Chains A and B, each alone.
Chain A
Amino acid sequence: MHIHAYEKLWLAASILLILLLIGSVTYGAVGPGVAMVADSEQPIDAGGLDEDERFSEPRVEQVGENEYAAYVVAYQFGFEPSPIVVPEDSTVTFYVTSRDVIHGFEVVGTNANTMVVPGEVSEITVEIDGSQEYGLLCNEYCGAGHHAMEGKVNVVSQEEFEERNSGGDDA
Chain B
Amino acid sequence: MSEALETERSFVDKFPEEARVVRAALLSSFLALVLGAIFGIIQTLHRTDVVRIIPSTDYYTLLTAHGVFLAISFTTFFLVGLFTWAVTRSLDRPLVNIRITWTWYTIMAVGMTMTGVSILAGFTDAIDMSADVLFTFYAPLQAHPLFYAGLAVFIVGSWIAGVDWFRTWLAWKRDHPDERIPLQTFMVLTTMAMWYIASSAVAASVLIFLLPWSLGFIDQVSPTLTRTLFWFFGHPVVYFWLMPAYLLWYTVLPKLAGGRLFSDPLARVVFVLFLLLSTPVGIHHQYLDPGIAEGFKFISMTNTMFLLLPSLLTAFTVVASVEYGARQRGGTGLLGWLTDLPWRKPEFTGMMLAGLMFAAGGFSGMVNAGMNINYMIHNTIWVPGHFHLTVGTAVALTFMAATYWIWPQISNKPIYSRSIGLFQVVLWFIGMALMSNAMHAQGIMGVPRRTAEPEYSGFDYPAMFGGFEELNIQIAIGGTLLFVSTVLFISNLVLTMGNPKVSGLAESLPPALSGPDDAPRVLDNLGLWVGIALTLVVLAYALPLAAIINRGGLLGPGVGTYPVWVAPVLDALAGAVTPLVGEVAGSLVGVTP
> Which residues of chain A are near B138, meaning CB under 8 Å?
101-102, 140
A108 x B461 contact (CB < 8 A): yes
For residue A65, CB closer than 8 A to chain B, the reply is: no
Q: B292, B446, B449, B562: which contacts A108 (Cβ < 8 A)?
A: B446
A135 x B456 contact (CB < 8 A): yes
A2 x B514 contact (CB < 8 A): yes
For residue A128, CB closer than 8 A to chain B, the reply is: no
Q: Closest CB-CB distance, B294 to chain A, in whole Å?
A: 4
Which of A11, A114, A120 has the most chain B CB atoms closer than 10 A to its own CB?
A120
Tell me the chain A residues, 33-52 only, with Cβ under 8 Å from chain B.
34-39, 41-48
Q: A4, A115, A135: which contacts B288 (Cβ < 8 A)?
A: A115
| Complex-state Cα separation, A134 to B302, whole angstroms | 34
B301 x A25 contact (CB < 8 A): yes
| Complex-state Cα separation, A113 to B265, whole angstroms | 44
B309 x A46 contact (CB < 8 A): no
Say whether, besides A15-B309, A34-B372, A43-B551, A2 and B518 are in contact (CB < 8 Å): yes
Which of B294, B317, B564 has the most chain A CB atoms closer than 10 A to its own CB?
B294
> Which residues of chain A are near B518, meaning CB under 8 Å?
1-2
Interface string of A130-171 (1 = CB under 8 A from B): 000111011111111111101110000000000000000000
| Complex-state Cα separation, A138 to B313, whole angstroms | 39
Tell me the chain B residues, 274-295 only, with Cβ under 8 Å from chain A.
286-294
A39 x B141 contact (CB < 8 A): no
Q: A29, A46, A133: which contacts B559 (Cβ < 8 A)?
A: A46
For residue B200, CB closer than 8 A to chain A, the reply is: no
> Which residues of chain A are near B370, meaning CB under 8 Å?
21, 24-25, 28
For residue A67, CB closer than 8 A to chain B, the reply is: no
Interface window among B154-162, B171-179, B376-384, B490-498: B376-384
Count B-side interface residues using an 8 Å CB cutoff.
81
Say whether, besides A44-B557, A46-B557, A113-B379, A147 and B223 are in contact (CB < 8 Å): no
| Complex-state Cα separation, A112 to B288, whole angstroms | 10
B448 x A39 contact (CB < 8 A): no
B461 x A120 contact (CB < 8 A): no
For residue A53, CB closer than 8 A to chain B, the reply is: no
For residue B371, CB closer than 8 A to chain A, the reply is: yes
Q: A4, A14, A29, A119: which contacts B222 (Cβ < 8 A)?
A: A119
| Complex-state Cα separation, A4 to B316, whole angstroms | 11
Tell me the chain B residues, 523-581 only, with Cβ under 8 Å from chain A.
547, 551-552, 556-560, 562, 564
Count A-side interface residues using an 8 Å CB cutoff.
72
A147 x B559 contact (CB < 8 A): no
Q: Closest CB-CB distance, A71 to chain B, in whole Å?
A: 14
A147 x B375 contact (CB < 8 A): no
For residue A81, CB closer than 8 A to chain B, the reply is: no
Tell me the chain B residues, 216-246 only, with Cβ under 8 Å from chain A.
222-224, 227
Q: B60, B140, B308, B309: which contacts A141 (Cβ < 8 A)?
A: B60
> Which residues of chain A are near B564, meaning CB under 8 Å?
143-144
For residue A109, CB closer than 8 A to chain B, the reply is: yes
> Which residues of chain A are near B266, meaning CB under 8 Å?
3, 7
| Complex-state Cα separation, A42 to B298, whole angstroms | 21
> Which residues of chain B are near A122, meaning CB under 8 Å?
288, 290
For residue B453, CB closer than 8 A to chain A, the reply is: yes
| Complex-state Cα separation, A148 to B56, whole angstroms | 10
| Complex-state Cα separation, A145 to B306, whole angstroms | 40
A150 x B456 contact (CB < 8 A): yes
> Which residues of chain B are near A113, meaning CB under 8 Å?
288, 375-376, 378-379
Tell me the chain B residues, 27-86 only, with Cβ under 8 Å from chain A.
56-57, 59-60, 63
Tell me the chain A residues, 1-33 only, with Cβ under 8 Å from chain B.
1-4, 6-7, 10-11, 14-15, 17-18, 21-22, 24-25, 28-29
> Which residues of chain A are near B369, meaning CB under 8 Å?
21
Say whether, besides A37-B289, A102-B138, A109 and B558 are in contact (CB < 8 Å): no
Q: Closest CB-CB distance, B552 to chain A, in whole Å?
A: 5
A147 x B452 contact (CB < 8 A): yes
A120 x B224 contact (CB < 8 A): yes
Q: A22, A35, A41: which contacts B305 (Cβ < 8 A)?
A: A22
Say whether, besides A10-B313, A117-B289, A109 and B559 are in contact (CB < 8 Å): no
| Complex-state Cα separation, A15 to B372, whole angstroms | 21
Query: Can you name 13 A-B pairs with beta carbons within 8 Å?
Result: A1-B519, A10-B316, A15-B309, A21-B305, A36-B372, A37-B289, A108-B445, A109-B446, A118-B140, A133-B459, A140-B138, A143-B564, A147-B454
Supply 17 further A-B pairs (C-beta < 8 A) apart from A25-B372, A38-B297, A120-B289: A2-B518, A7-B317, A21-B305, A25-B301, A34-B375, A36-B288, A36-B294, A102-B138, A106-B379, A106-B446, A108-B462, A133-B459, A138-B448, A140-B138, A143-B141, A144-B132, A150-B458
